[in-house]
Chain A
Amino acid sequence: MTFMPVDTETVLRVQDLHTHFFTDTGIVKAVNGVSFDLLRGERVAIVGESGSGKSAMAMSLIRLLAFPGKIVSGRIDVAGNEVASLPESELNKIRGSLVGTVFQDPMSSLDPVMRVSDQMIPPVMRHLEVSHKEGEAIAERWLGRVGIPDAKLTIRAYPFEMSGGMRQRVMIAMALSCNPRLIIADEPTTALDVTIQAQIVELLKDLTAETGASMLFVTHDLGLVARFAHKVGVMYAGKLVELGPAADVFAQPRHPYTQGLLRSIPDAADGTRKRLFQIPGFPPDMRLPIVGCAFADRCAAVRDICRTEAPESTYRGVNHFASCWAPTGLDQSVVERQVKMPERIVEAELSPDPVRADALRSDVLEMNNIHKHFVRRSILPWTEAKTVHAVNGVSLRVKRGETLGIVGESGCGKSTVARLLLGLEEPTAGEIFINGSAQMVFQDPYSSFNPKMKIFDIIEEPLVVNGQSSRTERADKVCSLVSQVGLDQSFLGRYPNQLSGGQRQRVAIARALALDPSVVVADEPTSALDVSVRAQIVNLLCDLKDELGISFVFISHDLLTVRYISDRIAVMYLGEVVEYGPAAQIFDDPLHPYTRALLLAIPTPDPVREAARKIELVTGELPSPFVLQKGCAFASRCPKVADRCRTEKPVLRNFSRQRETACHYAA
């Protein structure tokens, strides 16, 4: 936040942009009058939930909209070029040279059948008018600059030979290779692990500061915004409802939507477990005309005027604008309305003292030294079979009514643990005891439902399979289950595609609860959901835990949510648990260097704290799962690595009464 643009040259000026999608079922007005300026070297973050039009807006800036999207009106000025009316051939001279673009999913954004060199060098040759040799040198220099080791070798590689983080670095190198003045980044880190995400964000920050390029950064992660942006624009229903300097917007949000979003994120620093604020309802259907303020139906501070007249963007402070009839948004009215709102913020009791609780509760789940190896054999008898040690000696216990959070980066074996718990995989070695039964809630509820089955049948199915109840008993049970997860009975006759993401996840939870399990294993249950909906699901899970006394195993890479919901946390790295203990203690005082690195990597939605924090990034990536590490699995990335770590494997040992860690030097 210390960097301020050196001069006030405007690189991008957007005026009253309207982008519509002309679909068969109607005109989707994705972008509805967006205006803002971007100065040289300035980084603006555009935040909003899915469907808010943020990506459509970003893609409009360089006219990369897919059919049937079309810019209907408005002006887009990129360094003196009128993008909206430029002929295609002229536009192609700007794309890739004046404007660089970084996309969301590095796994799919690079051409899979072309070498990096073939994708990177020709654009450089074209835009900078250099020979192939010079182009190659430039490309290699950029690959080195974005932190790719062995650029000369990597440039000959195919994308599939690289990890996601590496591919995103290649993407960034491609976007920057022709010295653009504007970089458009559409959720550039969403598909990456936290430690890699932190690396990429730092990289983008450094590179924009060095080159003086401006950047428009689309994201739904408010923590990233705090870490990264000078300016924030909050989009809702195709409009920028709030726009201002990042520090101001986070310290004093003025629009009720921004205020709601910021309150719906669990607070890492706050030890007490408050109920998460949730924004009720759904975003409006963008095909229908919107009368008044689009947020009115979900707003706690709604007034009569909101329903008839749309608020203009009005001045709320230096460079800070909000579109709301209430000058301070929620603050004044929210207090009176809190009581009436079902989603009121309640001070929950502090979780009971774990030591005392341990004595009262019995274990419902126990895993003893579980191993799961996947073996890939070749047809040639003389070659050695390759073994992936997905889970490598994991012992975990869950007590009745307790929530165990399992965190770790992709490939650490956390999902395999979930599958083992449910008996979907046989462990190679070790034992699992479950007192009762276990059920599962998946990440993507839509793909875990049969699309041809009605909601009633989906929830009833486990009861039918179980075969212990009559038809009427089952119908009663289904009805009570849906009301338990906060859905109306009218949903029972619908199909999964008629439900929103949050509603589907509620159905998934109802299905998991149908057989009264003692443990529910939830594998990334909130990562496919938007922030405001995520808060609803997290609240629901907490309620169910309290009401039913069910134990949860909550697997996620979203550390803030894990911390919020879990009593205990197990941190996994390469198939092993490296740290285990009460959630609060792990967050406040991590013992293992890997846990520390993970926690440092999570951005918190507070620009002041982010600026003050010194981010010590973990370097490198996960080592190959095919090679079993002789010493500590984390040795290759550990900042505190010593010789002993490379030769002797640290075992998970008791550190204090409740905490265990697998590090030689934990203190």
Chain B
Amino acid sequence: MLAYSLKRLLQLVVSTFGVVTLVFFTLRLIPGDAAAALAGDTITGEALERLREQMGLNKPILAQYLTYLWDLVTLRFGETITTGLPISGLLSQAFPITLSIALATITLSLIIAVPLGAMAAFMAHKGRKTLDNLITTAAMLADLMPSFWTGLVFLLFFSLMLGLFPASGMVSFDDPVTFLKRIALPVMVLSVTQIATMARITRTAVLEVLSEDYIRTARSLGWSEVRVLFRHALKNAALPIVTIVGLSFGSLLNGTVIVEFIFTIPGLGSLLVNGINSRDYQLVQTLIVFYALFFVSVNLVTDLIYKQIDPRVQL
């Protein structure tokens, strides 16, 4: 366990360093720089050069890189180039919102998808194909729907027609009920694909487990089908489900961009898009490093959960 933690920590440092380096240099491959973006069409020539000097963009690229690395190690995220706001402040505002949406999506999806997938697998195992086909087809269809489309449909239906949830407005944590109502629509939109994926994965995993010998053993001891399915089969099928949850969690933090845009949520996704549009190296770099760290941490947690579920997993 100790060896494993050390190994993973080392991995974390190495992969973060890789991401930092890659991001730093690729960002600078994009034509145009932050100064030009800031200046727009108004400032040109010498004035622009002066602006570059102010922003430290005239130094050799390697020097910029080293400065940046040192800042990161000393946890100085600095300010955005374009607006001059402290990045740590922006992050601490956006991150909780995105995190809440991601967590709510995962929870909602798990509650719906796992029983659905297990049910489908059970039916398929028993040879009762109708319900299985129904669930599988529905999952496939749901998976095919792009989020900008479901987003608009949900907006029309739940917000404009039924008036259940607000389509826009302030996002604040002050009042939990208002907050939940505000993020309900994005969560539902994001859940559609998540449910589809998770249900499919659950079905496959459970179906495989159901034909294992120990399931027959459990039945031979007199346990009912329901108990066999939920106590024995699901626990053994949990590893792929946990994997997909881990991956989804990572992608939910990135992939909410479109949904955040549709529902005007000031989350990490919006922050990133704005940063890229304005060539704000500092902001984009920091965000991506943040994503990378988060992704690696989620993976680590996933692996630790593996060990909890399946004692055979060697860490």
Q: Which residues of A contact B6 (CB under 8 A)?
A: 379-380
Q: Is the CB of A108 within 8 A of B220?
A: no
Q: Which residues of A contact B213 (CB under 8 A)?
A: 103-105, 108-109
**CB nearest neighbor in A for B211:** A66
Q: Is the CB of A112 within 8 A of B224?
A: no
Q: Which residues of A contact B216 (CB under 8 A)?
A: 64, 66, 103, 109
B223 CB-CB contact with A under 8 Å? yes
Q: Which residues of A contact B214 (CB under 8 A)?
A: 108-112
Q: Is the CB of A89 within 8 A of B217?
A: no
B7 CB-CB contact with A under 8 Å? yes
In the assembled complex, how far is the CB of residue B283 from the closest CB belonging to chain A, in whole angstroms?
37
B50 CB-CB contact with A under 8 Å? no
Interface size class, chain B: 20 to 34
A251 CB-CB contact with B under 8 Å? no
Give Cα A104–Cα B7 distance, bound, in whole angstroms: 40
Q: Which residues of B contact A101 (CB under 8 A)?
A: 217, 220
B309 CB-CB contact with A under 8 Å? yes
B212 CB-CB contact with A under 8 Å? yes
In the assembled complex, how far is the CB of residue B240 from the closest CB belonging to chain A, in whole angstroms?
14
A62 CB-CB contact with B under 8 Å? yes
Summarize B's interface: helix, strand, loop or mixed: helix
Give Cα A377–Cα B220 distance, bound, in whole angstroms: 42
In the assembled complex, how far is the CB of residue B138 from the closest CB belonging to chain A, in whole angstroms?
23
Q: Is the CB of B236 within 8 A of A113?
A: yes
A442 CB-CB contact with B under 8 Å? no
In the assembled complex, how far is the CB of residue A101 from the closest CB belonging to chain B, in whole angstroms?
4
Q: Which residues of A contact B312 (CB under 8 A)?
A: 112-113, 158, 160
Q: Is the CB of B220 within 8 A of A92?
A: no
Q: Is the CB of B3 within 8 A of A92?
A: no
**CB nearest neighbor in A for B311:** A158
Given contacts A158-B312, A380-B2, whether A111 and B126 have CB atoms under 8 Å apart is no
Name the one of A95, A108, A112, A158 contacting B221, with C-beta atoms under 8 angstroms.
A95
Give Cα A311–Cα B8 distance, bound, in whole angstroms: 70
B222 CB-CB contact with A under 8 Å? yes
Give Cα A68–Cα B232 distance, bound, in whole angstroms: 22
Chain A residues with a Cβ closer than 8 Å to the other chain, count: 38
B219 CB-CB contact with A under 8 Å? yes
B59 CB-CB contact with A under 8 Å? no
**CB nearest neighbor in B for A112:** B312
Q: Which residues of B contact A94 (CB under 8 A)?
A: 222
Q: Is the CB of B232 within 8 A of A160?
A: no
Q: Is the CB of A92 within 8 A of B311?
A: no
Report B151-197 residues with CB < 8 Å from chain A CB: none
In the assembled complex, how far is the CB of residue B113 from the closest CB belonging to chain A, in whole angstroms?
21
A624 CB-CB contact with B under 8 Å? no
A303 CB-CB contact with B under 8 Å? no
In the assembled complex, how far is the CB of residue A301 from the closest CB belonging to chain B, in whole angstroms?
39
Name the one of A68, A97, A380 contacting B222, with C-beta atoms under 8 angstroms.
A97
Q: Which residues of A contact B225 (CB under 8 A)?
A: 88
Q: Which of A104, A109, A174 has the most CB of B within 10 A?
A: A109
Give Cα A104–Cα B219 distance, bound, in whole angstroms: 15
Q: Is the CB of A112 within 8 A of B220?
A: no
Q: Is the CB of B222 within 8 A of A103?
A: no
A127 CB-CB contact with B under 8 Å? yes
In the assembled complex, how far is the CB of residue A623 from the closest CB belonging to chain B, in whole angstroms?
22
Q: Is the CB of B236 within 8 A of A127?
A: no
Q: Is the CB of B232 within 8 A of A92?
A: no
Q: Which residues of A contact B2 (CB under 8 A)?
A: 380
A126 CB-CB contact with B under 8 Å? yes
Give Cα A127–Cα B214 distance, bound, in whole angstroms: 19
In the assembled complex, how far is the CB of residue B123 from the closest CB belonging to chain A, in whole angstroms?
10
A498 CB-CB contact with B under 8 Å? no
Given contacts A66-B216, A379-B3, whether A111 and B222 have CB atoms under 8 Å apart is no
Q: Is the CB of B126 within 8 A of A67?
A: yes
**CB nearest neighbor in B for A120:** B221
Q: Is the CB of A174 within 8 A of B221?
A: yes
Give Cα A60–Cα B282 distance, bound, in whole angstroms: 70
Q: Is the CB of A113 within 8 A of B224?
A: no
B127 CB-CB contact with A under 8 Å? yes
Give Cα A319–Cα B217 distance, bound, in whole angstroms: 33
Given contacts A108-B214, A113-B309, A379-B7, whether A123 and B221 have CB atoms under 8 Å apart is yes
Give Cα A105–Cα B217 distance, bound, in whole angstroms: 11
Q: Is the CB of A111 within 8 A of B3?
A: no
Q: Which residues of B contact A108 (CB under 8 A)?
A: 212-214
Q: Is the CB of A67 within 8 A of B127?
A: yes
Given contacts A113-B310, A380-B2, whether A95 and B236 have CB atoms under 8 Å apart is no
Q: Is the CB of A127 within 8 A of B232?
A: no
In the assembled complex, how far is the CB of residue A68 from the closest CB belonging to chain B, in whole angstroms?
6
Given contacts A92-B223, A158-B311, A160-B311, whether A383 and B217 have CB atoms under 8 Å apart is no
Report B287-315 residues with CB < 8 Å from chain A CB: 309-312
A607 CB-CB contact with B under 8 Å? no
B91 CB-CB contact with A under 8 Å? no
Q: Which residues of A contact B223 (CB under 8 A)?
A: 92, 123
Give Cα A88–Cα B226 distance, bound, in whole angstroms: 12
Give Cα A66–Cα B217 distance, bound, in whole angstroms: 12
**CB nearest neighbor in B for A160:** B312
Give Cα A96–Cα B216 distance, bound, in whole angstroms: 12
In the assembled complex, how far is the CB of residue A273 from the closest CB belonging to chain B, in whole angstroms?
39
A378 CB-CB contact with B under 8 Å? yes
Given contacts A158-B312, A160-B311, whether A111 and B224 have CB atoms under 8 Å apart is no
B125 CB-CB contact with A under 8 Å? yes
Name the one of A95, A104, A105, A126 contacting B220, with C-beta atoms under 8 angstroms.
A95
In the assembled complex, how far is the CB of residue B237 from the closest CB belonging to chain A, in whole angstroms?
10
Report A85-141 residues with CB < 8 Å from chain B CB: 88-89, 92-97, 100-101, 103-105, 108-114, 119, 123, 126-127
Q: List 12 A-B contacts (CB under 8 A).
A: A64-B216, A64-B219, A88-B225, A95-B221, A109-B217, A113-B236, A113-B311, A114-B235, A123-B223, A126-B222, A380-B3, A380-B6
Q: State the A residues within 8 Å of B (CB).
A: 62, 64, 66-68, 88-89, 92-97, 100-101, 103-105, 108-114, 119, 123, 126-127, 158, 160, 171, 174-175, 378-380, 383
- Nearest 6 A/B pairs, CB to CB: A96-B222, A96-B221, A95-B222, A101-B220, A108-B213, A67-B127
Task: Known A-B contacts: A101-B220, A109-B217. Give 14 more (CB < 8 A).
Answer: A64-B220, A67-B125, A95-B220, A101-B217, A103-B217, A111-B217, A111-B236, A112-B236, A112-B312, A113-B236, A113-B310, A113-B312, A174-B217, A380-B6
